[in-house]
Structure 1
């Protein structure tokens, strides 16, 4: 099995504590390399509302797919606090405006991470958008191995 670059498929040179791709002109750590032209593998985690409590640096490690699902959750949560009927919880006596502010800021964080990755902020995360994005992720055409080139 040959160690190959996850970006271009070139056979890698082993250096002291890393691998080097001549074509990409970059160092790759052991956890980045692929075998025999395999493409980069992205593992998507299950997303839940508790993930909205993560810090911005933690959210930046999420895949784009995970962030899209989390943005949908953040917008849903924000809408709950925006509704004037839920702003004041009479049983607890809590003012929900602070929760609205915090959920809005978290939504902005996720939107801006997505803007960097996609070049835009998805306006409507309806089921059609979600289905099309997932269909593209699962497209077998993009899971085929790359051709391996010697340097």
Structure 2
């Protein structure tokens, strides 16, 4: 039996799946009251930062943590490059490098802000520091909740 992943109400398809209890269309239909399993990648890449904001909003929280960590690291590198470019510019070298360094720094700053704000909306806070201990702790909480996960049954 096809069920809503949120409330376990039995649903049927009439062009689209619609849950009459949740009052919404369902795109991730489950079977027999099973909960949706969240899949995620263990590693993220710099190319993932080029995703649009709507695409970033669809990523699992753990992936956003990894991307925030990566964006903060790259942003710091871009800031260091900007600082060096400004020093060289004061010595009479090309100021075009300052403009490029500024644009790169601004790009990664905005990406960092986007990810922080998505996480803030989901969690109610922005993590100050994302290190291996933080990630391990988060994953342990996720794994514990997976072990305790039960099918949804309405009696």
Please, what TM-score do these two structures have when normalized by structure 1?
A: 0.81
Distance 1:85 1:97 in 2: 6
Distance 1:10 1:100 in 2: 49
Distance 2:152 2:79 in 1: 48
Q: Does 1:133 align with 2:138?
A: yes
Tell me, which stretches of 5 or more residues in structure 1 are unaligned?
none
Distance 1:62 1:22 in 2: 27
Q: Does 1:112 align with 2:110?
A: no
Q: Which residue of 1 aligns with 2:97?
A: 94
Distance 1:40 1:62 in 2: 15
Distance 2:106 2:84 in 1: 11
For residue 5 of structure 2, give the secondary structure of its aligned residue in structure 1. Answer: coil
Structure with the largest fraction of helix: 2
Q: Report the CA distance shift for 1:58/1:25 in structure 2 as closer, same or farther (over 3 A).
A: closer
Tell me, which stretches of 5 or more residues in structure 2 are unaligned?
89-93
CA shift for structure 1 position 15: 4.2
Runs of 4+ in 1 over 4 A off after TM superposition: none
Distance 1:87 1:97 in 2: 11
> Within 5 Å, which residues of 2 pair with 1:62-81?
62-81=59-78
What do you get for the CA RMSD once the two structures are aligned? 2.5
Q: Does 1:58 align with 2:55?
A: yes
CA shift for structure 1 position 73: 0.3
Distance 1:108 1:77 in 2: 13
Q: Does 1:36 align with 2:41?
A: no
Task: Give the total of aligned pairs.
Answer: 144
Select the structure with the greater relative contact order (CA < 8 A; seq sep ≥ 6): 1
